[in-house]
Amino acid sequence: MSLTVDLLQPEVQEAIRAANYRELRETLRALDPADAAEMLESLEPTEAVVAFRVLPREQCGDVFAELSAEYQEELIEHLGTDRMMRVLDAMGVDDRAAVLDELPPEIAQRLLAAMSPDNRIATQRILNYPEGSVGRLMTSDYVSLLPHWTVSRALEHLRKHGRDAETINYLFVIDERGRLIDDVRLRKLLFAEPESLISELCDSHYVCLSATDDQEEAVRAMGRYDRSALPVVDSTGVLLGIVTHDDVADVAEQEATEDIQKLGGVDALDEPYMDTGFLKMLRKRAPSLAVLFCVQAVTVGVLHRFEETLTQAAILAVFIPMIIACGGNSGTQASSLLIRAIALRELSPSDWVRVARRELLTGLCLGSMLGVLATVMVQVLNHIGFARSEHAVQIGFAIGTAIVAIVIWGVLIGALLPLALRAIRLDPAAISSPLVATLMDVSGIFIYFSVATILLRGTVL
């Protein structure tokens, strides 16, 4: 809970109990919509309904949009359809569509049917686009201009229609058929001569999104071109709406959260951690663990193959955890770097040769460093009596050499596996890191005992 909400919560609760609605209204009016939504969710349901009812009309839509989907559904049941219609009418069309998209179908259909024809058409148009597409993000609350207008007429149009626009930093120039021609910054419009034509301010250099693009494309375009708003067009170039930076920021946070969860081998959560049910959490986490466990079982077969080596040189078993850690850590490190580079479109599967060459050199340097460190560590452990052996020098050399080979193999697997997954149109973030760690556990032990068997034959073995 934020400090502001924490400090004001007792005051709000007291105003509700005393039925001091004027004070309650003024307190809530002073809060940012996000803080007001957090305040409502911190109250008892009966108190929250009272607080929401006294919100100013111009604020209630913004506050409702900030509430969690579960709390929105609860408030709808308490407020009733008529009151809820007033809330939805006060919301932007993109926020309204997002709310309906999160609600159970029967509730969403009931609210949609109760809307005015214009609001229903605008909302349905957004909901008709595929989930995860730019069309689901866009709003029709923007200001458009015609190229033959003068600057004076454009400013008059802006004063008349700009109040309800999502943003006026950019104004969008369209032709008589509604096709996008250009966009003009407000600053450029304000400093132009009043009698200049809008067409004279256009340079035909603009960036736009397609309504069917993935939402990640909006995130990349907004960052690449440093824009606060981007126009959205259909296949014929007709301007359908705009996407603003606040919507894109929400998508960026959601996508980053999903990628981080997938990196841990967890199917992305649809709800906050504490709101996810126990059984649903098990379903999200169990499948990947079961698959990785089965892959890990191959380790038993590898150890069985080298059973004789372990019997003759039991000291090698002492260093198995260190070997596993080196392989898993180096592979996961490379995998994380490549997954992010792919997400940022810095690399594509066709770059695998360059990546392999780069990681081969990196693995050789890192492996040599860790190999020398391991060799020294074996001598130190032998000296203090933790892993004593009369062949400590040979064992140290064998372990160090094995680590060089394992680290090189680990970084190659970690770097090339995400590229391979991308090449077959799978999400590298979904399985790369856990799979790399598991593969390195199995292959690392095989490499370790193979190198040890070759280098220690005739001495320890």
Q: Are residues 81 and 153 in the same domain?
A: no
Tokens 């220690």 — which residue? 456
- At 267, the pLDDT band (50, 70, 90 cuts) reads confident
- Evaluate whether residue 263 is within a structural domain: no
Same domain, 436 and 321: yes
- Kindly report, residue by residue over 152-169, the tens digit of the pLDDT: 999 999 998 888 888 899
How far apart are alpha carbons 403 and 390 in whole angstroms?
A: 21
Task: Find the CATH number of the domain harbouring 80.
Answer: 1.25.60.10
State the pLDDT at residue 272.
73
In single-letter form, the type of residue at position 237 comes to G
Contacts of 326 (CB under 8 A, 6+ apart): 370, 374, 403, 406, 407, 410, 444
Give the percent of the chain with pLDDT over 70. Answer: 97
**For 239-259, what is each residue's pLDDT tens digit?**
999 998 888 888 887 777 777
Does the structure show a pLDDT above 80 at 263?
A: no
Nearest-angstrom CA–CA distance, 137 and 166: 12
Where among 251, 283, 312 does a domain terminate?
A: 251
Residue 387 in this model has a pLDDT that exceeds 70: no
> pLDDT averaged over the chain?
85
Quick: pLDDT tens for 32-80. 888 888 888 888 877 888 888 888 777 888 888 888 877 888 888 777 7
The distance between the two most distant Cα atoms of the chain, rounded to a whole number of Å, is 96
Predicted confidence at residue 265, as pLDDT, reads: 67
User: In this model, does residue 304 exceed pLDDT 60?
Assistant: yes
Within a domain: 11: yes
In a domain, 288, yes or no: no
- Asked whether the predicted pLDDT for residue 380 surpasses 80, the reply is yes
Residue 172 pairs in a beta bridge with 144, 183
Where a domain ends, among 220, 236, 251? 251
Residue 205's H or E segment, with its range, is none
In which order are the strands placed within the sheet that holds 170-174? 144-145, 170-174, 180-185
Taking the C-alpha atoms of residue 69 and residue 330, their distance in angstroms, rounded to an integer, is 41
Q: Are 87 and 153 part of one and the same domain?
A: no
Q: What is the pLDDT of residue 125?
A: 84
Q: What is the CATH number of the domain that holds 307?
A: 1.10.357.20
Asked if residue 331 is part of any domain, the answer here is: yes
| Distance in angstroms (rounded) separating the CA atoms of residues 172 and 231 | 8
Same domain membership, residue 388 and residue 334: yes
* 307 C-beta neighbours (distance < 10 Å), count: 10
Count of domains for the chain: 3
pLDDT tens-digit readout, 338-361: 988 888 888 889 999 999 999 999
172-197 burial, b if ≥16 CB within 10 A, otherwise e? bbbeeeeebbbbbebeebeebeeeeb
In a domain, 207, yes or no: yes
Per-residue DSSP letter, 351? G
What is the predicted pLDDT for the residue at 68?
81
Cβ within 8 Å of residue 357, ≥6 positions away: none
Least confident among 2-11, 165-174, 312-321: 2-11
* Same domain membership, residue 168 and residue 85: no
Q: Are residues 308 and 439 in the same domain?
A: yes
451 and 323 together in one domain? yes
Domain identity same for 118 and 14: yes
pLDDT of residue 245: 87
Write down the pLDDT at residue 4: 67
Lowest average pLDDT, out of 9-18, 199-208, 273-282, 344-353, goes to: 273-282
Mean pLDDT of 362-373: 94
Using pLDDT thresholds of 50, 70 and 90, give the confidence band for residue 298.
confident
Same domain for 303 and 413, yes or no, is yes
Of the candidates 104, 228, 73, the one whose C-alpha atom is nearest the C-alpha of residue 165 is 228
**Looking at the domain assignment, is residue 169 inside a domain?**
yes
* More confidently predicted of 341 and 309: 341
- Mean pLDDT lowest for which of 266-270, 354-358, 438-442? 266-270
Phi, psi angle pair for 243, to nearest 5°? -115, 130
Q: 400 and 302, same structural domain?
A: yes
- The answer to whether residues 76 and 187 belong to one domain is no
Top pLDDT among 442 and 272 is at 442
Beta-sheet strands, E only, within 37-143: none
- CATH of residue 164: 3.10.580.10
pLDDT reading at 229 higher than 80: yes
User: Is residue 424 within a helix (H) or strand (E), and if so which, with residue range?
Assistant: none
**Residue 85 belongs to a domain:** yes
- Mark whether 174 and 209 lie in a shared domain: yes
Q: Is residue 272 part of a domain?
A: no
Radius of gyration of the chain from its Cα atoms, rounded to whole angstroms = 31
* pLDDT of the residue at 2: 64
Host domain of residue 89: 3-128
Gap between the Cα atoms of 416 and 427, Å rounded: 14
- State yes or no: pLDDT of 1 exceeds 60: no
Give strand ranges (E) for 81-238: 144-145, 170-174, 180-185, 209-210, 229-233
